[in-house]
Amino acid sequence: MDSKQVWDASITQLRSEMGQASFNTWFKKVKYLEFNNDTFVAVAPDSKTRDWVADRVTTTLQRILSGMMNDSVSLSFITQPSIPDNETEKKTENKSGGNKYTKPTRFISSPRNIALHKAYGSKRAGVIQPENIVVTTNYFFKNYVKKMGSNNAMIVIWCRKKCIWRPEEDIFRNVVYTTRDAISADLGISEKTIDRAWDDPYVKMFLRHEVTWRKDKETGQARKAGIKITVRMDDPLTEEDALAIGIQENYDFSEDGVAVFDEFDILQ
């Protein structure tokens, strides 16, 4: 099955576990968007629905999806502005003369991306997807990797990889629901190393970590379900750089995952 078929099958099972009434009220209008970097991304019609399903459905649906995929996967819900159908879908003629609708490619025909595809070749590029990158600044490597350590830096980069930040499309998601073993399996580091990372002061500048819980159906007791990670998507300025350019950096980053700062007169 492809990712969309896995999603549809999982939603059928989710409906039976939620009950038809709750499903119709909260989940019926949630739509599959994509499967990228081991993460299923779904679009909710509004922020209220997104928050409700993220808090109450994520653990259950992630368990179902992971079972269907026979591998650990992440799950994210986002909201997206309404876009006319003729802008989100492209009408094409099929060989039989009928019409079919296909989503437009996400590949951006920039000189850089075209050069990457030429360098990798079409077949290799189809596997490697050279345009599907995680942006990590030289500033991050210069100022934070050495301080937090390579393992912790990889955890930060891994979490960012699971997020979406497309300002030009007004699409933003900076919360990751996952498990320690999923991070461990992807990065090849121990779960103890991951546990220690959450207490590192430099990691805390980029990631907020909290345990998620579920109710055991047999015992009725609360059990750990996984972890929720809120991710800062931009790099915080060092204190020296903030002072040099006259910005008061807020290192307790905002809920939308980007810096909160105020300009101030450094001469005062």
List domains and CATH numbers for the chain: 1-81 (3.30.300.180)
Tell me if 117 sits within 8 A of 131, measured CB to CB: yes
| Dihedrals phi, psi of 244, to nearest 5 degrees | -65, -35
Tokens of 160: 């960012």
**Would you write out the chain's pLDDT as a tens digit for each of its 268 residues?**
788 888 998 998 898 888 888 888 899 889 998 888 788 888 888 888 888 888 889 888 988 998 888 888 888 888 865 434 444 444 444 444 444 433 334 444 456 666 665 666 666 666 766 666 677 899 999 999 999 999 999 999 999 888 876 666 666 778 888 888 899 999 999 999 999 999 999 999 999 988 888 877 788 888 877 898 989 888 888 889 988 988 887 777 655 555 443 333 333 3
Residue 104 confidence (pLDDT): 38
At residue 96, the pLDDT reads 42
Given this model, what pLDDT does residue 116 score? Answer: 61
Residue 193, judged by CB atoms within 10 A of its CB (0-12, 13-18, 19+), counts as middle
Which residue's structure tokens are 């998620």?
Answer: 212
Please list, residue by residue across 197-230, b when 16 or more beta carbons sit within 10 angstroms of its beta carbon and e when fewer do. Answer: bbebebbbbbbbbeebeeeeeeeeeeeebbbbbb
Tell me the two tokens of residue 215.
């109710």
- Pairing type for strands 74-79 and 39-44 reads parallel
Backbone angles phi and psi of 237, in degrees to 5 = -70, 145
What's the pLDDT score for residue 200? 95
Question: pLDDT value at position 166?
Answer: 65
- Are 40 and 76 a contacting pair, CB within 8 Å? yes
Residue 174 Cα distances to 75, 143, 156, 243, angstroms? 12, 22, 12, 28
